[in-house]
Structure 1
Amino acid sequence: MNERILIVDDNKNNLRLLQNILEDEDFEIYATVDSTEVVDLAVKVKPSAILLDVMMPILDGFEVCSLLKQEPLARDIPVIIVTAKTETQDLKTAFDLGAFDYIKKPIDEIEVISRVKSALRFKAQQDKLTEMASRDGLTGLFNHALLIDLFEKELLKAKRNKSSLTFIMMDIDYFKKVNDNYGHLAGDLILKQVAEILTNSVRSSDIAGRYGGEEFGLVLPETNVSNACLVGEKIRSAVEENHFDIGNESIQITISIGIYSKEPEESIDSKEMIKRADEALYKAKTNGRNRVELG
């Protein structure tokens, strides 16, 4: 899929000119003349870069840039200020607010292409570094910190869109016995294989992470309680039926699962959702393990 670029300019001629330049480079363009809708549009479209005019009614480019950097779902998008105001103080203001670069007016085609591609290279590098730092070294799933960060972002989105959201806590049953009987290398192998089962059991839009130790967390956007139970049971069954090869032996394990689903109109924070999913997990453990329980 082509990179998405969001262009913001109240002058339709400038907007059309920038759009034509970037479409010729095979970018997918989204455009608006309304500065008040930029943040919502950025969250919805998820562009790889934003070209932002400075002189606009209601909210100027500096104010919009500041709002973008305050929005968790948009703050990492490179913002390129488009301006005829190239005085040092104006540029300092833009960079202090978090802008990545600027393009001078009148618009020059080569400059536009060069600066946009520079911003995209920077974002690709940052995304790669973030990805490397955000993965659990053993399982390849998101680590605890990023799992929670992404969960909180999905919760903001769910509240904005008034949609359902589910958090699932999972724990491998009797994992200490596996380590005691077969060694920690065997335990590591099982953790990696369970992670593969999780990845293969969910949608690309779902978020799977290693919560800690033998615990895993799963975030299911736009998923109500009935669908969450289907996902939980699918994972539980897949783990139970899988044969884990440990050296010359093949063993079977089980997993206990706790689920909490937020209804569209419900007001709840991430910590409380995790707490309720954890309580449901504890209920699954006390009720015999290898089962799915609701919080």
Structure 2
Amino acid sequence: MKAKILMIEDSPTQADKASGLLRDLGYEVVWAETGELGLKLAKESNPDLILLDVVMPGMDGYTVCRWLKLNQATKNIPIIMLTVKGEVENRVTGLEIGADDYLPKPFNPRELEARIFAALRTKAEQVELGEQNRELQELLHKVEFMAITDPLTGLYNKRRFYDVLKKEFLSSKRYNHSLSCLILDLDHFKEINDKYGHLAGDATLKEVGSILAKALREVDTISRFGGEEFVVLLPFTPKKDATLVAERIRKSISETNVKYEKQEIKVTTSIGVASIEDIQGGEMDALIQYADDALYQAKHNGRNRVEVFNLGMIDSPENND
């Protein structure tokens, strides 16, 4: 693929001479006779390099260069300025407004060839570096995503959940807004694995994760804690409303038959609910512990139900189910 050079030159004679040389060197050449047309073609033709005459009627080369460097679409195109003005001050002016190189007229064809090659080589190196940076950024984003995500369900993992919990807990304390937590545990999940196989169990976990994602708000945080246990954080949600959310989730899961191969798997969940109002000045981890105590009570009372934390649960034994 040929490199494309835009030549902005008011003299047809000079343009024809330079264009012939450039085409012989294997470049594609686009010619603009005025600065105004040059700006238009620079945006439309997306050249790899611009040869820009300084002395032109109407819009001179300095003005064209300024506009090219101000425009998002053209600011990275290398510019070599060509002019009969050989004074140091003129060369400095061109370089200060963004030109990449400066070549006096009449130019030596070999020198023009060398300067064009050098400018295109520098551009290629910058593009390659930019691509490497983009690839590195994509890799970093992927690594960061993997570090906070459960690979099976695509939900946040426990590590990310605790990062969010810390921020939400401090915000709730500082601004005195409500914060609730749900802990869900799928009922008899081991039996699903034993009866249908672990791949069916994985399909069940994915389906439950999808149900949770659809049922909750963007501000809510959903995490798979591990195994068949999920945790949901509900900012700006008092216990009463969190209980309604939990019941809605429980109902939705119980009404869903997970389809795996030719089988339909029935699944239910037990849910424990706790709120920051239960903690009464306690530590952040108490919110999780209290929701877990309520979950144990839901399991103990027959499963497929929602239980809300109360102070009488504090001394209950841990759920070993």
TM-score (structure 1 length as normaliser): 0.57
1:206 to 220, 233, 246: 220
Q: Separation in 1 of the partners of 2:137 and 2:307?
A: 41
Change (3 A) 1:265 1:183: closer
Question: Does residue 185 in structure 1 map to residue 196 in structure 2?
Answer: no
- Does the CA contact (< 8 Å) of 1:168 and 1:257 recur in 2? yes
Change (3 A) 1:183 1:275: same
* Deviation for aligned residue 1:207: 0.2
* Deviation for aligned residue 1:123: 8.7
Q: Separation in 2 of the partners of 1:123 and 1:167?
A: 34
Change (3 A) 1:291 1:264: closer
Partner SS state of residue 303, structure 2: coil
2:159 to 128, 133, 145: 145
Change (3 A) 1:264 1:156: farther
Change (3 A) 1:127 1:284: same
1:279 to 273, 293, 300: 293
Change (3 A) 1:160 1:126: farther
Per the alignment, residue 78 of structure 1 pairs with: none
* Deviation for aligned residue 1:129: 3.6
Per the alignment, residue 229 of structure 2 pairs with: 215
* Deviation for aligned residue 1:212: 1.3
Structure with max Cα Rg: 2
Per the alignment, residue 276 of structure 2 pairs with: 262
Letter in 1 for 2:271: I
2:305 to 277, 283, 291: 291
Q: Separation in 2 of the partners of 1:264 and 1:286?
A: 21
- Does the CA contact (< 8 Å) of 1:198 and 1:235 recur in 2? yes
1:149-171 Cα offsets, whole Å, 9 max, x none, are 21111101111111110111100
Partner SS state of residue 181, structure 2: strand
Q: How many residue pairs end up in the alignment?
A: 179
2:251 to 231, 234, 237: 237
Q: Which runs of 5+ in 1 are unaligned?
A: 1-24, 26-120
- Does the CA contact (< 8 Å) of 2:152 and 2:206 recur in 1? yes
Deviates further, 227-236 or 260-269: 260-269
Q: Separation in 2 of the partners of 1:281 and 1:253?
A: 17
Q: Separation in 2 of the partners of 1:264 and 1:164?
A: 11
Q: Separation in 2 of the partners of 1:232 and 1:264?
A: 17
* Deviation for aligned residue 1:270: 2.0
TM-score (structure 2 length as normaliser): 0.52
Per the alignment, residue 61 of structure 1 pairs with: none
Q: Which runs of 5+ in 2 are unaligned?
A: 1-71, 73-133, 310-321
Per the alignment, residue 225 of structure 1 pairs with: 239
Letter in 2 for 1:277: A
Q: Separation in 2 of the partners of 1:283 and 1:246?
A: 31
Query: Matches of residues 150-189 of structure 1 in structure 2 within 5 Å?
Result: 150-189=164-203
- Does the CA contact (< 8 Å) of 1:164 and 1:264 recur in 2? no
Per the alignment, residue 136 of structure 1 pairs with: 150
Per the alignment, residue 246 of structure 1 pairs with: 260
Moved over 4 A (4+): 121-128
Q: Separation in 2 of the partners of 1:279 and 1:153?
A: 23
Among the aligned pairs, what percent are the same residue?
43
Letter in 1 for 2:156: F
Per the alignment, residue 86 of structure 1 pairs with: none
Q: Separation in 2 of the partners of 1:268 and 1:218?
A: 20
Change (3 A) 1:214 1:264: closer
